Amino acid sequence: MILNPDNIKEYPKIITSIKYHFSKYYDVGVETPTYGYVNKGEKGVFQRRYFEHTICSQEELNNHINYIHYNPVKHGYVKCVKDWVYSSFHKFVEDKFYDKNWGSSNDIENIKNLDFE
């Protein structure tokens, strides 16, 4: 997720709010949550911690966007980026930022080094 808050000090509140509302309104999470999750009212769909990073250039922003879009393929959820229906990738294709077939097997060499974990 990439955010551009008006006040960087509000970042933790924004993340907490997103996690809370998503978890409240969507029935997702681990099938057998651990005691720690249940005890804290967590569902296990999010990592407990998050990595906050300030993006300093257009190239770095583009690399992070590519990473986010390619992640469902990397983790084996789909074979092509365009197949992940929950992605903002489709909006980027409409805006002509990507070709609709970006992230296919032909592109793997160009994007395999996108690993920000």
Q: Are 2 and 61 within 8 A, CB to CB?
A: yes
pLDDT of residue 95: 96
pLDDT confidence tier of residue 3, bands split at 50, 70 and 90:
confident
Structure tokens at 26: 């969507």
Tallying the residues shown for the chain, one arrives at: 117
**How many percent of the chain have pLDDT more than 70?**
73
Domain ranges of the chain: 1-52, 58-111
The residue that leads in pLDDT, 117 or 20, is: 20
The answer to whether residue 86 is catalytic is yes
Residue of 11, 35, 50, 86 marked catalytic: 86
The model carries a pTM of 0.69
